[in-house]
Amino acid sequence: MIIGTAGHIDHGKTTLVHALTGVDTDRLPEEKKRGITIELGFAPLELPGVGVAGVVDVPGHEAFVRTMLAGATGIDLALLVIAADEGMMPQTREHLAILSLLAVHGGVVALTKIDLVDDEWLALVSEDVRAALAGSPLTDAAIVPVSATTGAGLGAIREALGSAASRLPARDPDDLFRMPVDRSFTVKGTGTVVTGTVWSGSLPADANVRIIPSGRVARVRGIQSHGTATSRALPGARVALSIAGVERDDVPRGSWIITDTEWMPAKTLRADVALLEDAAPLGPRTRVRFHLGTQDVGARIVAAGGALGPGTIRGARVLLDEPVLARAGDRFVLRLPSPAATIGGGRVVDPMPAVARPRPWLAELTLEQRFEAMLAEGAGHGVAGRGLAVRLGVAPAAAASLAASYPGVVGTQDGRLIARAVVDGASARAAELIAAHHRQAPLDPGMPLAALRSALAVAPSVVELAVASLSAGGVIETVGAAARIAGWSPSLEGPLGKIAEALSERLSAAGREPPSVAELAAELGTDPRPVLRFLERTGSVVAVDEDRYYLASELAALVEILRGGMLDGRVYSPAELRDITTLSRKYLIPFLEYCDRHGITVRQDTGRKRAGT
């Protein structure tokens, strides 16, 4: 369980954490010198009845809100620190807005430095604070007066944190593992160490992890939680991972540590976005900073229905400068780069849209409705089963059972989920296309499957399903790499039959010296090749080369003459072979080459001899 501090500069966050935990988290020389927090600080806090919580101490300086965000992301409870002498200040409000945008579960307000104010003032400030909390996750939070100097109220803070912690929802250890990196450093003798809060899932020591965005795979050498070695990183814990084989620069803050291949960074997200009440309207061309986890990238927000105004929640497309690793339900914060200001934020609705320009979906959509929208959007390609848990924002088991509970959804061989209606549509269309192919090419043995695949606008694995279901239903049959309507066979009917007759007559009359394909085309006034190829398949003609067909019986007779005229083992010159066959040179050479290819003759330097002699 993680508690994050929040609040204006100098209001006493670090001093309070020190008083509660005994750890001074301001360790940098520059922090000591300036008396302010610059980097995130971490300390374990024992809470009675809860166990050890991790405390993340953040800076309050307005220049370090980015660092505060990196610390606040993934916290369970907020410890909002407000100095009683100053009350609500600008970063008190900005941090409170960030806690709201991140949808932190709850927390406690520490009204510190009460040793500096009287009771009357304390009551006034308290009232003021209560009003400012309205509508935030701290609306009903305990407001605890405390002094780190005198120690007054420290017990009450612990109690209030313990009671808020007991109301937190449980986490699923079997979810996908994901951890945003908030620090990385090199430890002498150990190597690269990264720290972070485990957002979901768990990680065994020795696991292989993937680092995003670098994509590198590395092995975890050891896991520590609050300085103690542990065999498993659990969801919601603060952990330090020592990672083999990577430099600290390969895993800077903003990286993610993941284990599953379900995750996929994307440059376009669907999200619900809202601006803070005091923000100026946001158009689609304004550049903003998008903060999710410890990631911080440039982005533009294209909201449905034009510029986004403050207050209302709207569906939007988030266009990112760099890929972001997100999951449905993730919260993010939007800031303007200069002058730096937090302007709003929202919730990821679909982290991996399957189309380039996704239309926003509404946040109120149920899990089922989002799944159906994905199916509809995927159309002939369906939804990739891998990544579904990330797109839906639920544990893998829940995503799988959702998909399985849909009677109208079938799985393809390559792991897609697709509406049965789409497969049925593809099947009907495939049958039509095959029948049309028969009409257009009645001499073809069937429609090549490759042609069928490119004619149907569906994933190849869906074509396989359609062909399988048509085959099983006895509608079509496949022959080699082609499909035909069951029982159909090519035949020469009607005008094609006439062409076939004319060709046979002509080739028969021409005997051993038949006309070329071009000459036949000129004589018949039509391209004879489809019919010639058909006759070739049925065995009545033979192509000696691609331009010349023989009647099969004529060619066979010619081969016999050649064979009969050659003695075993003797090499014949072309002139001798011309004398044997009495073919003119124009016919002789293609014929001899045909004989070489078909193992009738063997070519040698000076001529040819009979094969096998």
Ligand X SMILES: Nc1nc2c(ncn2[C@@H]2O[C@H](COP(=O)(O)OP(=O)(O)OP(=O)(O)O)[C@@H](O)[C@H]2O)c(=O)[nH]1
Q: Where on the chain is the footprint of Mg ion (CB under 5 A)?
A: 13-14, 37
Stretch that binds ligand X, among 9-17, 236-244, 442-450, 576-584 (CB under 6 A): 9-17
> Cα separation of 343 and 286, whole Å?
12
Q: Does 147 bind ligand X (CB under 6 A)?
A: yes
Instruction: Choose among Mg ion, ligand X, none what residue 288 binds, the Cβ cut-off being 5 to 8 Å by kind.
Output: none
State which of residues 12, 137, 180, 315 lies at the interface with ligand X (CB under 6 A): 12
Q: Does 92 bind ligand X (CB under 6 A)?
A: no
> Cα separation of 106 and 169, whole Å?
11
Count of residues making up the chain:
613
Quick one: 35 or 281, whose CB is closer to Mg ion?
35
Q: How far apart are the first and last CA of the chain?
A: 89
> Cα separation of 98 and 298, whole Å?
18
H-run or E-run covering 300: strand 295-303
Question: C-beta of 35: minimal distance to Mg ion in Å?
Answer: 9
> Cα separation of 148 and 82, whole Å?
12
Restricted to residues 16-45, the positions that interact with ligand X (CB under 6 A) are 36-37
Quick one: 113 or 548, whose CB is closer to ligand X?
113
Question: C-beta of 158: minimal distance to ligand X in Å?
Answer: 16
Quick one: 60 or 515, whose CB is closer to ligand X?
60
Angle at 498 between CA 497 and CA 504, to 5 degrees: 90
Residue that is written with structure tokens 């990680």 in the block: 203
Question: C-beta of 164: minimal distance to ligand X in Å?
Answer: 20
Instruction: Choose among Mg ion, ligand X, none what residue 9 binds, the Cβ cut-off being 5 to 8 Å by kind.
Output: ligand X
> Cα separation of 332 and 289, whole Å?
10
- Who contacts 244 (Cβ-Cβ below 8 Å, separation ≥6)? 191, 218, 219, 220, 221
Contacts with ligand X, 93-132, as mask; x by CB under 6 A: -------------------xx-xx----------------
Q: Which pair of structure tokens corresponds to residue 134?
A: 């309205």
Quick one: 45 or 273, whose CB is closer to Mg ion?
45
**Residues near ligand X (CB under 6 A), total:** 21
Question: C-beta of 299: minimal distance to ligand X in Å?
Answer: 28
Instruction: Choose among ligand X, Mg ion, none what residue 113 binds, the Cβ cut-off being 5 to 8 Å by kind.
Output: ligand X
Quick one: 24 or 545, whose CB is closer to ligand X?
24
Instruction: Choose among Mg ion, ligand X, none what residue 148 binds, the Cβ cut-off being 5 to 8 Å by kind.
Output: ligand X
State which of residues 2, 4, 15, 484 lies at the interface with ligand X (CB under 6 A): 15
Quick one: 40 or 566, whose CB is closer to Mg ion?
40
Number of CB atoms found within 10 A of residue 416's CB: 20
Residue nearest to ligand X (CB): 60
Residue that is written with structure tokens 């944190």 in the block: 161
Sign of the alpha-carbon torsion through 257, 263, 269, 275: negative
Question: C-beta of 179: minimal distance to ligand X in Å?
Answer: 25
Question: C-beta of 122: minimal distance to Mg ion in Å?
Answer: 22
Number of CB atoms found within 10 A of residue 411's CB: 15
State which of residues 59, 180, 315, 346 lies at the interface with ligand X (CB under 6 A): 59
Strands 409-411 and 482-485: unpaired
Question: C-beta of 422: minimal distance to ligand X in Å?
Answer: 56
Instruction: Choose among ligand X, Mg ion, none what residue 429 binds, the Cβ cut-off being 5 to 8 Å by kind.
Output: none
- Who contacts 556 (Cβ-Cβ below 8 Å, separation ≥6)? none
Q: Does 335 bind ligand X (CB under 6 A)?
A: no
Quick one: 10 or 250, whose CB is closer to ligand X?
10
CB 459 within 8 A of CB 378: no
> Cα separation of 484 and 162, whole Å?
72
Quick one: 67 or 100, whose CB is closer to ligand X?
67
Q: Does 184 bind ligand X (CB under 6 A)?
A: no
Quick one: 37 or 92, whose CB is closer to Mg ion?
37
State which of residues 148, 449, 470, 476 lies at the interface with ligand X (CB under 6 A): 148
Number of CB atoms found within 10 A of residue 231's CB: 9
Question: C-beta of 147: minimal distance to Mg ion in Å?
Answer: 16
Instruction: Choose among Mg ion, ligand X, none what residue 112 binds, the Cβ cut-off being 5 to 8 Å by kind.
Output: ligand X
> Cα separation of 183 and 241, whole Å?
11
Sign of the alpha-carbon torsion through 578, 579, 581, 587: positive
Helix, strand, or coil here: 558? helix
Would you list the DSSP string of 154-212? HHHHHHHHHHHHHTSPP--TTS--EEEEEEEEEETTTEEEEEEE--BS-EETT-EEEEE
Residue 241 burial (10 A CB sphere; 0-12, 13-18, 19+): buried
Q: Which pair of structure tokens corresponds to residue 512?
A: 């051993």
Instruction: Choose among Mg ion, ligand X, none what residue 149 binds, the Cβ cut-off being 5 to 8 Å by kind.
Output: ligand X
State which of residues 1, 13, 412, 515 lies at the interface with ligand X (CB under 6 A): 13
Quick one: 27 or 287, whose CB is closer to ligand X?
27
Residues that bind ligand X (CB under 6 A): 7, 9-15, 36-37, 59-61, 81, 112-113, 115-116, 147-149
